[in-house]
Structure 1
Amino acid sequence: MRTYAIGDIHGHLDLLQAAHALIAADRAAIGDAEAPVVHVGDLVDRGPDSRGVIEFLMQGQSLGAPWVVLKGNHDRLFTLFMADPGDRDPRLRADLAWLHPRLGGGATLSSYGMHAPSDRPLARVHAEALEAVPAAHVDYLRSLPTWFLRDDVLFVHAGVRPGVDLREQTEDDLLWIRHEFLEDTRDHGALIVHGHTALPEARHYGNRLNLDSSAAYGGPLTAVVIEGREVWHLTEAGRARLDPPQQAAAAE
């Protein structure tokens, strides 16, 4: 059971297109045109072309590409702002807002042609956003699924609440959870493939695989291929095996 996956994009259309080129090269090498490509969320914010990312993914899916696009917490923040700029995500820190430079909402609105959205009165910015952002983009982000299960690999944005059945997981946890999930070393019944927590490079922990390699902060965008529970990082030179630390050490 083969599946491709791509980490947190954060408005970097060029990196996303490059990741898909790596996947296309791997498909050609092994003769597989059917395996799905799962994007683990955070399409928008911080990077320069969130609009382009959304349009690229919408168009690919509309043309029948076998792509799965999951919702990330930044995608939800965008839709909440568009519905009501005074609304707050329940998991967002009280001292932050979507247009705060740390979150990068201003960069997203700038990709729609808006000028200095983080530095002007909120009501005016929201009114302009309603004119500038296609409703179809907001509807698309709002309707994205929060998880995708394929064989014994579960794809989510942030992680899962350990010990809780998948059918009882909350969207808040799937989009926002960190320490309770990251610090839990038990097997979750499936390999959890996620993003959300930025690292210098993708890392396999045995029970989970973190694909967020800090594209939001100038790092690369990771693409992998997963067969069973085996993982390979896709590079210009081809596949590079990505093993948990213990397994990698034993192979040396």
Structure 2
Amino acid sequence: MPDAPDKRLLAIGDIHGCLDLFDRLLDQVAPGPDDRLILLGDLIDRGPDSFGVIERVLALRPVLPQLTVLRGNHEQMLLDYLTGRDTLMFLANGGGATLSSYRRAGFDTIPDEHRDFFAGLPSLHREDGFIFVHAGLRPGIPVDQQQEDDLLWIRGPFLHSDWDFGATVVFGHTPQANILRRPGRIGLDTGAVYGGSLSCIDLTSGRCWSIPAG
């Protein structure tokens, strides 16, 4: 693996069960214990191995002590499914692939360790002049007054606004052909599960990595 500079601030977009792409991206980026790595949510659903992705993330925690994993709308849909609140929404948005991956691993349901992991995910993280969030922020609303639904689901009002939130917002959720970089916004969902790529950015240097699907 290539040598990695010290103390990078890294962010990775929506993985959506694409364990092979995630592993290949980790090989390229080679995060170490001094790096800060933020995963922007939607680790699960639609792709072939959501179980494997979560196992990989849990295994990374001891070796990457500065790892932060955010909640995406798909993690929220899984939590709602597990509490019986919205089964159809979860299954209609790729949840069946997640359940299948757990069954292939020998689990009839989501194990407690994974349930606790999903339940403990934050929806927003701030660091070094950046705001990390899965979907975005609602313009005109202070960051500390944002609604959870917007943090997980918002698209148009955030994407089509140039509202200054006082920091660059790093987000996923809305697939783009390439990493989106414009004033105050960095979008990292590059459609891994749709045949696009899985992307990472080092916010300390501006370097980017994108691993194409297939």
TM-score higher than 0.5 here? yes
| Among candidates 94, 98, 121, match of residue 144 of structure 1 | 121
Deviation at residue 79 of structure 1 after TM alignment? 1.3
Match of 1:3 in 2: 9
Describe the superposition over 1:65-108 as per-residue Cα deviations: whole angstroms up to 9, x where unpaired: 42111000001101111111xx139xxxxxx62112xx111100
Match of 2:208 in 1: 233
Structure 1 gap ranges (5+)? 90-95, 115-128, 237-252
| Among candidates 83, 98, 107, match of residue 90 of structure 2 | 98
1:88 aligns with 2:94: no
AA aligned to 2:103 is G
Match of 1:216 in 2: 193
Deviation at residue 64 of structure 1 after TM alignment? 4.5
Change (3 A) 1:64 1:201: closer
CA distance in 2, matches of 1:132, 1:74: 17
* Contact 2:178/2:190 (<8 A) preserved: yes
Match of 1:162 in 2: 139
Count of aligned pairs between the two proteins: 204
Describe the superposition over 1:155-214 as per-residue Cα deviations: whole angstroms up to 9, x where unpaired: 100001112222211211110111111111132210000000011121102110110000
Change (3 A) 1:8 1:235: closer
AA aligned to 2:97 is A
1:51 aligns with 2:33: no
CA distance in 2, matches of 1:2, 1:64: 12
| Among candidates 153, 165, 189, match of residue 176 of structure 1 | 153
Q: In angstroms, what is the RMSD of aligned CA positions?
A: 2.2
AA aligned to 2:48 is P
1:108 aligns with 2:83: no
Identity of aligned residues (%): 40
* Contact 2:137/2:154 (<8 A) preserved: yes
TM-score with structure 2 setting the length = 0.88
Runs of 4+ in 1 over 2 A off after TM superposition: 62-66
AA aligned to 1:99 is L
* Contact 1:44/1:74 (<8 A) preserved: yes
TM-score with structure 1 setting the length = 0.75
Deviation at residue 235 of structure 1 after TM alignment? 5.6
Q: Which one has the largest radius of gyration? A: 1
